[in-house]
Structure 1
Amino acid sequence: MSEERKKILEVDDLSVHFHVRGQVLKAIHHVSMDLYEGEVLAIVGESGSGKSVLTKTFTGMLEENGEIAGGTIVYNGKHLEELKKDKQWEGIRGNEIATIFQDPMTSLDPIRTIGSQIAEVIVKHQHKSKAEAKKLAIDLMNRTGIPNAADRYNEYPFEYSGGMRQRIVIAVALACRPNILICDEPTTALDVTIQAQILDLIKDLQKEYGFTVIFITHDLGVVASIADRIAVMYSGRIIEYGTCDEIFYDPKHPYTWSLLSSLPQLAQRGGQLYSIPGTPPSLYKDIVGDAFAPRDPWAMKVDFKAEPPFFKVTDTHYAKTWLLDPRAPKTEKPELIQNLHERMSEVMSASHLENLDLGGKDSDGE
């Protein structure tokens, strides 16, 4: 990442704990990360790796039994970890940092019209009159790809498809004019075609409005076309981060290798899709060594005894694995992902040809 770019968010040594039935669940473990103005940072990892919990600390949305146990979160000079009450978050949440969630129906009021929900946000955050808010809401609906927006302003959420509802949720978030937009698995519930449309929409709107994006997903394939940088999370830890190309084509941590090997695009027709063996460790127990070691076929004795530090690969690429220690045996990434660039290109080309074939048929399918 260029030193010229401004850091908009700095997280240093952050830990988050939850108190559950008399036990302490350590959801985030000494995480440090920077977010640069205008970039798309993807945070990837399996369910339960801590992706959503991490970003909830940026908007003060931790559950009541959760707490920041240590570390700092600095946004434009403000220490967010010091904010404890909803009143203190009013100027940040939505206004400066907004979130799009996975299920749009949980974000929209089912008994209120679509237009009124967008307009309400505009009145509150942009201090416009109701007439101005309606005009701006229709404009946002148009910009997010809602056809006949003026006519559909007074419709209800149930009258929209899943993809259209997600576009409305994006419109609501943008009505706040945020500096940072957190996209928490916003395409998971959508089919592949609509998923691609939503990703393109987010990219286009980012160029137009200039906001910074944090994109959360369990699927590395989703962020290949949208991310500038990728942070890989496992068991509440960031275990590797780098540019999109570095993570895809020169990954260093065995967990990142496993995530890439699991890409559906790499599955052979009639063959089995690779799955990571075992299960993540319990977050109620202290983890000794590398958290991924029990599932790692490349694990060494040291992986079960000491947590690895971050090793520098390039100025933009770091990985938390003992395999990068100069004393470690030379280890190659799995054969399945050794020519990932070529394999992905082949998949994309084949998909393109199929689309051309389909497009070439006449209305009778001949």
Structure 2
Amino acid sequence: MEKKTILKAENISVSFKVRNRELRAIRNVSLELKEQETLAIVGESGSGKSVLTKTFTGMLETNGEITSGTIEYAGKDLATLKKDEEWDGIRGKEIATIFQDPMTSLNPIKTIGSQISEVIIKHQGKSSKEAKQMAIDLMDRTGIPNAAKRYDEYPFQYSGGMRQRIVIAIALACRPKILICDEPTTALDVTIQAQILELIRELQEEYKFTTIFITHDLGVVASIADKVAVMYAGQIIETGTVEEIFYDPRHPYTWSLLSSLPQLGQKGDELYSVPGTPPSLYKEIKGDAFAPRSSYAMQIDFDSEPPMFQVTETHFAKTWLLDPRAPEVQKPEIIQGLHEKLVALTEAAEANNGGEVRV
């Protein structure tokens, strides 16, 4: 059965005023989010991933504004909301965010339990006694051992992984319909990363929320996403199911990201890195923003911005290589047969470790 659309952004542009100059952080982005799916937004730092999702919660910095477009959610256009009180029934309660560093989300001088309880009281209208029990239940549900005892402890008494679990508990205390995870595992070691990802997956299944996962780690994408949106220079340049993006990518920038997968590195060889640097978003970008860094660029890439071409019902890519008049090119050899390569790597890891490995 076709899933319902829960949020739809159309032609969103965002600009920031920086020292009397305009920085165009988001350039005409459209995005559709379905109920209970996990959408991963990937791209290099500065590509606009976090800025885009901040428009869904009214959390742009004071020098930033949405200059065009609409964001349809629950019968409202979120792009038109300006004041904090207009966001009160949405931010946190309907659309919640988990950030990269839990210490920026937690108050260091308040107990862990009180920070969860006050969210429950505010958004669910519970009494202090009810809120405390619900907070302990959430702590327990997110994997905090001896939750009742640790309710009165402070953030400094928790490890990084445990603090991130508390931030997840606080987000879930609002009972949101959309959970935005902004690089929530970047500061954690690999083992804890895997535990947090598994926790988010389990909680999504239980609470039936929709997830937007912001990351630059394609390994995370492979393990958690249903759909992927690839961002570059303030635009979505390719979108599709996780299988389409990994095994049938069409944009040269997506090819470069996949070529950078550490799993594909050969012993003794230098790991691939995307050449050059992203363009300045202070300047007007002409043509395909990735063209100066791409060995596949044609003259038209420097002259005209490509449209979003449709590959399948769910797969779209913004590249002139999909124009019927374009020459036929092969994607880089390192990502040809990527599925088979990743399966082989997984089987080798399982054989070495004697356990299950998920790629």
Give the TM-score normalised by the residue count of structure 2: 0.97
Aligned partner of 1:23 in structure 2 is 21
Measured against aligned partners, the alpha-carbon deviations of 1:229-263 in whole angstroms (never above 9, x if no partner) come to 00000000000000000000000000000000111
| Residue 113 of structure 2, aligned match among 108, 112, 115 | 115
Note the 1:277-356 alignment, pairs <5 A.
Answer: 277-356=275-354
2:53 is aligned with 1:55: yes
Measured against aligned partners, the alpha-carbon deviations of 1:3-41 in whole angstroms (never above 9, x if no partner) come to x21110010000000001010000000000100011000
Q: Which 5+ residue runs of structure 2 have no aligned equivalent?
A: none
Following superposition, the deviation at residue 77 of structure 1 comes to 1.4
Note the 1:134-153 alignment, pairs <5 A.
Answer: 134-153=132-151
Note the 1:77-116 alignment, pairs <5 A.
Answer: 77-116=75-114
Note the 1:9-20 alignment, pairs <5 A.
Answer: 9-20=7-18
- Name whichever of 153-162 and 173-182 sits farther off: 153-162
Aligned partner of 1:362 in structure 2 is none
Aligned partner of 2:160 in structure 1 is 162
Note the 1:153-302 alignment, pairs <5 A.
Answer: 153-302=151-300
Residue type at the aligned position of 1:64? T
Residue type at the aligned position of 1:89? W
Aligned partner of 1:7 in structure 2 is 5
State how far apart, in whole Å, the 2-side matches of 1:201 and 1:351 are.
Answer: 23
Following superposition, the deviation at residue 337 of structure 1 comes to 0.7
Measured against aligned partners, the alpha-carbon deviations of 1:32-79 in whole angstroms (never above 9, x if no partner) come to 010001100010000000000000000000000000000000112111
State how far apart, in whole Å, the 2-side matches of 1:160 and 1:260 are.
Answer: 36
State how far apart, in whole Å, the 1-side matches of 2:29 and 2:214 are.
Answer: 16
Question: What is the aligned-residue RMSD (CA, Å)?
Answer: 1.0
Partner SS for 1:5: coil
Partner SS for 1:224: helix
Measured against aligned partners, the alpha-carbon deviations of 1:138-166 in whole angstroms (never above 9, x if no partner) come to 10011111111111111111111111111
Following superposition, the deviation at residue 349 of structure 1 comes to 2.1
| Residue 36 of structure 1, aligned match among 29, 34, 37 | 34
State how far apart, in whole Å, the 1-side matches of 2:156 and 2:269 are.
Answer: 39
State how far apart, in whole Å, the 1-side matches of 2:88 and 2:261 are.
Answer: 40
State how far apart, in whole Å, the 1-side matches of 2:269 and 2:138 are.
Answer: 45
Partner SS for 2:197: helix
Give the TM-score normalised by the residue count of structure 1: 0.96
Partner SS for 2:311: strand
State how far apart, in whole Å, the 2-side matches of 1:345 and 1:148 are.
Answer: 39
Partner SS for 1:231: strand
State how far apart, in whole Å, the 2-side matches of 1:319 and 1:89 are.
Answer: 33
Q: Which 5+ residue runs of structure 1 have no aligned equivalent?
A: 358-366
Measured against aligned partners, the alpha-carbon deviations of 1:273-316 in whole angstroms (never above 9, x if no partner) come to 11000000000000010000000010011100000001110000
Residue type at the aligned position of 2:347? S
Following superposition, the deviation at residue 352 of structure 1 comes to 2.2
Aligned length: 355
